[in-house]
Structure 1
Amino acid sequence: MSHTPPPAAPSTTAKALKPLRGVRVLSLALNLPGPAALMRLKAMGATCLKAEPPGPKGAPAGTSGDPMGQYNATAYTTLHDGIKLVTLDLKTEQGQQKLHKELARTDLLLTSFRPSALAKLGLGWKALHKAYPALSVVAIVGAPGPRAEEPGHDLTYLADAGLVTGLDLPATLFADMGGSLMASEAALKAVLTQKTRGKGSFQEVALSDAAAWLALPRSWGLTQPQGAVGGAHAGYRIYPCKDGRVAVAALEPHFAAALCAAAGVPVAGMATLFQPATHKAIAHFLAGQTRRQLDKLAQVQDIPLHTLAH
C-alpha cells in the first residue's frame, strides 16, 4: 500500500490493558533504551518518575541533563510524555537524600549506568537490596556480566552481532529499541516475582543481547543473500517501479503465485521463485508499473506489497 507516516507511539494493546497499575517506577536511565522502556511501563499503567542529572554547565536554565533532550527535542518530548521529571545531583548529599526518599516508596528502579558508576553512587544491588528488600532493579548495560564496563553504543552492538553491512548506517536503533522491549519485559518479570516471593529481584538487560536476539534470523541464514527473506526468493525483495520503489513480500505460495500470475510468470513449484529468470521477469514487470497501479494490484489480487518514493 502507499506509504503513510507511522504513528508516534503505536500502542493500542498497552492503552487498553493496565497490568502495572499501582506499581511505582523510578528511572535513572538516560538516552534511549531506558526512557523507551519507561514509556512502555507507563503505557501499562505504572506510575513513573524519572530523575535526571543537572544540565551541562553554562546551558540555559531548564536544559535537560539527559543527552537525548539536548540532541533531539522531539524524541525526548515523546519519550517523556506524562512522565514526572525531577533533577537530582546524585553526587551531592542533598541529591542522595532525595533519591533515597523516593526509593523508600519505589517498587522498581530502572538504571543505565555502568556497574562501577552505580557502586560509586551507593546504588549497587547488594546495598539496595539490604536497604529496600522489596525493591526490584532492572539494570540496562551495554554487554552482560564482566563486559558491562566496556564502552559501546547501538552501532557497535549491531556490528558485533553481524547486523551492519556495507558502509550505510542501520535504518533505526535496533539494539536500543530491542533493549527497551527486553527491559520492559524484565520489569514485568520483576513485578511478578515480587508478588509471588514478596521480595525484590535484580534483572540485567544487555543491549548486546538484544542485538544478538535480533540477529538470530541472520545466523540461521534466513536473511543472508541466499536465504528466502534475504533476496534469494523473487517474491520477497525491493524492486524499482516506474515512479518509485516497491517492497514485495509475497513469500507464502499463494501470495507468490498471485504475483507470478500478475507478472505472467509460469510457476512450477516453489523452486521457480529462486530462479534468476523469475527474478528478471518480475523485475521487468514491476519496473513498468506505477505506484498507483501496484497499489491497485495489491488490493485486487491480494498481494502483500508496499510502494515507496525514490
Structure 2
Amino acid sequence: MIDALEGLRVVDLSHAIAGPTCTNMLVELGADVVKVEPPATGDGFRHYTEHGGEPMLSIPFAAMNAGKRSLALDLKTAAGREVLWRLVERADILVENFRPGALNRLGFGFDALHARCPRLLLVSITGFGQTGPLADRGAYDHIAQAMSGIALLNADAEGPKKIGLPIVDGFTGYLATIGLLAALRRRDRTGIGEHVDVAMLDAALKLVNTSVSVHSYTGRTPGGTGNRGFRLVATADFYPTGAGWIALGANTQQQVETLFAVLGHPDMATDPRFATHDARVAHYDALRDWLTVTLADWRAEELEARLAAARVPAAMLREVGEIAQHPHLAERGTLHPVVLPGWDRPLAVVGAGFATANHPPATVPVLGSHSDAVLGELGLDAAQIADLRREGVVA
C-alpha cells in the first residue's frame, strides 16, 4: 500500500502536545517531518517526567515525536534563519504553535512565506487563534477546558473538574491535521498554499458542541450534572460492583429491558418509574440507587461478558496498562514498537488510530541526530556544516 502522504516534506516548529500531535499524524501517514529544535534544550517535552537512557528523551516526548527527524537549529541567529529558509523553500508544509506574532518577528509570517513559497501550507496552532480579542493570550489544556465550559460540565459535588488527560491539546492536533489535509486538497487543485488557523478554544468548543447548540436554542446550559445534563439515564453511567467498576451503556428501550433481564429483574421494565425513557430521566436517583445495590452482587468482568453477549454495550473499567495488554489491540496492530536510543528496550506507541495508516515510525530522534543529513540535503557541504556547528547555530 502506498503511504498517503509519501513525498510530502514537513517542517515542524511545534513543541509540547498540540502541534506535535498534528505532525505525529503526518508521520503516520508517510510524510517526511523535520523537527526543528533549539540546540541547547530541544523541545521542552524532551524533559517531561521520566528518563531512562539518552538524556533529553522522555517517554512522553517519544510518544509524540517518533519517526521525525531532528534538526537542532538556533533561530535567534541570522545564519539559523537562513538555514530555515532553505528548509522551508523545499517543504510543502510548515507547522508551528508559537503565540500569534512570534513567527512574524522571526521573519516567517504567512505573508513573507507566501511571497517566497506560494505553494507552502502554514499551520498555526494557538490557544485562541490568530484573530479576536483573546488572540494574544497563552493557554494550556486545562485553561481551554476552563474557558470552554468543559470543566463545569465535568463538575461533581466537590466542584469543577478538569479531565485527567490533555484532551483539548490532542483534539486540537487532530483538528489541525484535518484542516491541513483539506488545505492540501485545495492546493492540489489551485497550486496555492494557505494559512490554516487552529485554536484550542475552538477545538474545546467542538467537543462540547451539543451543549453550545442547546444553549443557543433554549438559553439553558447543561452543567454540574455530568451525563444528566443531556437527558441520559442512570442505565448509562459508571457503577461499583462487588469486584471492580462497570460502565453501563443501556440507552435504547431494548437495551434497558435486556439489562434488567440480565440482572435477573425483568419486572423492572414494567415499573412505571422506569418503563420509558422520560420516566427513567424523571426518576434518575431512584434508578441509580437500585442499580448501585443490585450491581454489588456482581463482578465487573462477569457482567461485562454477560451484557456483551446480550448485545448491551458495557465495559469493565480498566487501567491503561490493562487495555494495552489486551489481545484485541494486538490483533488490530493498534500499538507498535519504536526504538528509544540509549534505552534498554523498545517503547510501545499508539498508531494513527485508523486501520488504513501504514507507516509506523521506527525510532525516536535524539536532539540534532539528523542535523548533518538534513543540512546536506539543503546543499551545505561538510565544511559549511562544521562552521555552523562551531558558531553554535546547529548541534
Does TM, scored on the shorter chain, surpass 0.5? yes
Q: Is the 8 A contact 1:231 1:237 kept in 2?
A: no
Q: Which has the higher contact order (CA 8 A, sep 6+)?
A: 2
RMSD across aligned C-alpha pairs, in angstroms? 2.2
Asked if residue 116 in structure 1 is aligned to residue 125 in structure 2, the reply is no
Inter-partner Cα distance in structure 2 for 1:226 and 1:205: 28
Alignment-derived partner of residue 59 in structure 2:
74
Question: Which position in structure 1 is the counterpart of 2:183?
Answer: 190
Residue in structure 2 matched with residue 6 of structure 1 by the alignment: none
- In structure 1, the residue matched to 2:198 is 205
Tell me what 1:62 maps to. Answer: none
**CA–CA distance in structure 2, aligned partners of residues 226 and 181 of structure 1:** 25
Q: Given the alignment, which residue of 117, 121, 143 partners 1:156?
A: 143
- Cα pair distance change 1:184/1:91, threshold 3 Å: same
* C-alpha distance in structure 1 between counterparts of 2:83 and 2:110, whole Å: 19
Mapped to 2, the partners of 1:18 and 1:137 lie a distance apart of 22
Match of 2:197, SS state, is: strand
Shift of 1:157: 0.8
Structure 1 residues 309 and 135: alpha-carbon distance in aligned structure 2, compared to 1, 3 A threshold:
closer
Verify: 1:271 aligned to 2:278, yes or no. Answer: yes
Which residue is 1:302 aligned to?
A: 311
Please name the residue that 1:174 is paired with: 167
- Within 2, Cα distance between the matches of 1:223 and 1:69? 37
Pair 118,248 (structure 1): closer, same or farther in 2 beyond 3 Å: same
Deviations 1:192-212 (A, max 9, x none): 121111111111000110011
What corresponds to 1:133 in structure 2?
118
Distance in 2 (alpha carbons) for counterparts of 1:250 and 1:227: 13
TM-score, length basis structure 2: 0.68
Structure 2: stretches of 5+ with no match in the other structure: 50-57, 215-220, 320-395
Task: Pick closer, same or farther for the CA change 1:231–1:282 going to 2, 3 Å.
Answer: farther
Which has the higher mean CA deviation after the structures are superposed, 103-112 or 76-85? 76-85
Show the 5 A alignment for 1:1-310.
18-56=3-41, 65-72=42-49, 73-144=58-129, 145-146=131-132, 147-164=134-151, 165=155, 166=159, 168-219=161-212, 220=214, 225=225, 232-263=232-263, 264=265, 265-267=268-270, 268-274=275-281, 275=283, 276-308=285-317
Structure 1, unmatched stretches of 5+, are 1-15, 57-64
For 1:198 and 1:172, the matched residues in 2 are separated by 39
Aligned pairs, how many? 287
TM-score (norm 1): 0.86
The Cα shift of 1:93 comes to: 1.5
Aligned-residue offset at 1:279: 2.4
Q: Deviations over 1:118-147 (max 9, x none)?
A: 111001111111111111101111102132
Do 1:115 and 1:124's aligned partners in 2 also have CA atoms closer than 8 Å?
A: no
Distance 1:300 1:118 in 2: 55
2: distance between equivalents of 1:175 and 1:185? 15
SS of alignment partner, residue 182 of structure 2: helix
For 1:262-296, what per-residue CA distance to the aligned partner results, in whole angstroms no more than 9, with x for missing partners?
33122422234322433222222112211232133
